[in-house]
Structure formats: structure tokens, C-alpha cells
Amino acid sequence: MKMSTVIRTGLACMLLASASASASAQAPDPAPAPVAQTQGTADAGTTFKRWDTNNDGSLSGAEFGAGWREVQAVNTLRNLRDNFAAKDADRNGTLDDAEYLKLDLVRKAGAAAPTMATFDADRNRSLDFKEYVGLVAALAKPKP
């Protein structure tokens, strides 16, 4: 096995271990995650095979980048779910107007913050998780 393959395999294993440790430390995600969630070296092999899209036994920069972005997306989604759950004070699965006003992004925007209705796609006067993700995407964009 080439040295670059060994290094890439090691990096893939470290990433998977990090993702697995993060997953086991938090509540399970109701949506199936694309990254293997069990522990052990078998998962590293499974992840490596999945990332090795051309099946040549090594990860190209493009394959590694795609796998890395996948791990980051899973972690971002998990963090958003955790934050949403933490802000849902009455634990009803939605954010009402009072909970909306306590969101960090809304508080930081102050008077310039859009109303909750801006993100309430189904007009039920609360935000579900999907609407919350839209809010975060809109308010967290870097200003030009």
C-alpha cells in the first residue's frame, strides 16, 4: 500500500472516530445519518469504501473532500437539532414567538431582525425544525 494511501486511510479513520464519538455523546438523530454511526474499525473500512467512489483502494483529494463535507454536514445538522431542542422551552417540537425572540441570531440582530412570520412557511405561528433551518441560513449569512 502506498504511503499516501496509508495517510489518507488514517485521516478517514480519524474523521470517522470523531464523528462516531460525537454521535454517541449526543441524542440520536431521528433522520438517518449518511455516516456510519457504530463504533470500531469496521466502520472506518465501510466509510473508506463508501468515500472511495472509483474503488481504486485510495482516496483522491476530491473523494476525501466529498467525504469530509458529508461529515461536516451531518455535524452541522446535529448541532442545529441540538440548538433547536434547547430553545424549544415547552418541548412541543416548535418554536413559538417568545422562543423565537430568545434565539441568539434574533437577539444579535436586534431591531433589524425579521419577524418570525418571515420564516413561518405554513403560517401556523410557530417554527418547526425545517423553518428554523431556513431562519439560521438567512440570518447567519455573512454580510457583503
Q: Residue 142: its pLDDT value, please?
A: 74
- Indicate the average pLDDT of the chain: 79
The confidence band for 19, taking pLDDT boundaries of 50, 70 and 90, is: very low
Contact predicate 17/35, CB 8 Å: no
The model carries a pTM of 0.63
pLDDT at residue 130 above 90? Answer: yes
pLDDT of residue 7: 42
Is the pLDDT score of 132 beyond 80?
Answer: yes
Render pLDDT for 97-116 as a digit per residue (tens, 0 to 9): 999 999 999 999 999 999 99
From CA 119, how far away is CA 134, in angstroms rounded?
7
Share of the chain residues as helix, strand and coil, in percent rounded to the nearest 5: 60, 0, 35
